[in-house]
Amino acid sequence: MEQLTVDELAVRVGLPGSTIRMYQTKGVLHPPKRQGRLAFYDASHVERLTLVQRLQARGFSLSAIAELVKAREQGASVAAVLGVGDTEGPDDWVRVRVRDMRRLVPTGDVRPAVLRRAIELGLVRWRRGWPHTRRWALEAGNRLALLAVPADDVLDSFANLRAATDGIAADFVEVFERRLWPQLAEKSEQEDQLDRIRALLVELTYTAETVVVGTLRESIREAAEEFARRHGLLPGDDFRPAWAEEPLPIAERLIDHENEIPDEPAIRRFLDQGDDS
């Protein structure tokens, strides 16, 4: 491994030696390796200083950079550092005991293959000889177990759901990168970017959760209607109850399931007329 003195490192990264020592004091640069009275730096220090310069150019303060670096060295995820990661509540990890597994699989068929697949899907993590899962997953699993839904069906559904949510997350991150990230770069000298990024990501996450939950509810409503039609649980289309003839707005709404799709001129007339017409 290449060894550099502080002066050689300073030339390599284009910084004064005093700045490098200050970075060490601030906690953004790890100490050099010492051999007697001599201190030697290596490629990891070059990489760290390059990162510091890049983050400073984006408007991050040294204290924010030190916080990011320290959290990362302690194994924290980026999401946790930015305020959208593992917190107390439904997202925290809890240990799964054998009795929990037996509740999750009502038939008592606690097969290693089922647990291994849950680990491969990321639903379960194996830590220090124990399986762990998110609290929300454990609670949801208990509810599904009470309904006697087989574990294989649960894992199949989770795999499909995770694929869908990965796509949704990628879409929102793409919006952040394309629309919000450039705005942060323009304001890099006005405020500390770490707090600004935290605020934006928390807001974006809340918005994404609201949209996903709302859209899922709409999808479930429509799927329930389709299920009822498929199994003959609804009257025919020509069925009209006695109260349908009453001139009540609520009755009209109840029997009118059609969704009109106006043409663009109709939409334009609506927009032009305003709310007072």
One-letter amino acid for residue 132 of the chain: H
- Percentage of the chain lying above the pLDDT 90 cut: 18
Per-residue pLDDT tens digits for 145-159: 888 888 889 899 999
Is domain 6-76 annotated with CATH 1.10.1660.10?
yes
84 phi, psi to nearest 5 deg: -125, 30
Q: Report the relative pairing of strands 130-134 and 124-127 from DSSP bridges.
A: antiparallel
- Confirm if 94 and 58 have CB atoms less than 8 A apart: no
- How far is residue 188's CA from residue 202's CA, in Å, rounded to a whole number? 20
DSSP annotation string for 113-131: HHHHHHHHTTSEEEETTEE
Low-confidence ranges of the chain (pLDDT < 50): 251, 254-255
CA dihedral for 193, 196, 200, 205, sign (positive or negative)? positive
Instruction: List phi, psi (to 5°) of 252.
Output: -65, -40
**Backbone dihedral angles phi then psi of residue 191, each to the nearest 5 degrees:** -160, 165
Euclidean distance between CA atoms 223 and 210, whole angstroms: 20
Residue spans of the domains in the chain: they are: 6-76, 93-229
The C-alpha atoms of residue 91 and residue 94 are separated, in whole angstroms, by: 9
**How many Å separate Cα 25 from the centre of its chain?**
34
Is 172 within 8 Å of 208 (Cβ atoms)?
yes
Rounded Cα distance between 183 and 193, Å, is: 11
Q: Which two tokens stand for residue 266?
A: 């109709």
Q: What are phi and psi of 93, to 5 degrees?
A: -90, 135
pTM score of the predicted model:
0.65
Q: Report the alpha-carbon distance of residue 145 to residue 106 in Å, rounded.
A: 6
**Residue 111's pLDDT is what?**
75
Residue 13 is predicted with a pLDDT of 92
Q: Minimal CA–CA distance to 184: which of 66, 87, 64, 84?
A: 64
Tell me, what's the pLDDT at 11? 93
Residues 6+ apart with CB under 8 A from 169: 208
CB of 66 within 8 A of CB of 194? Answer: no
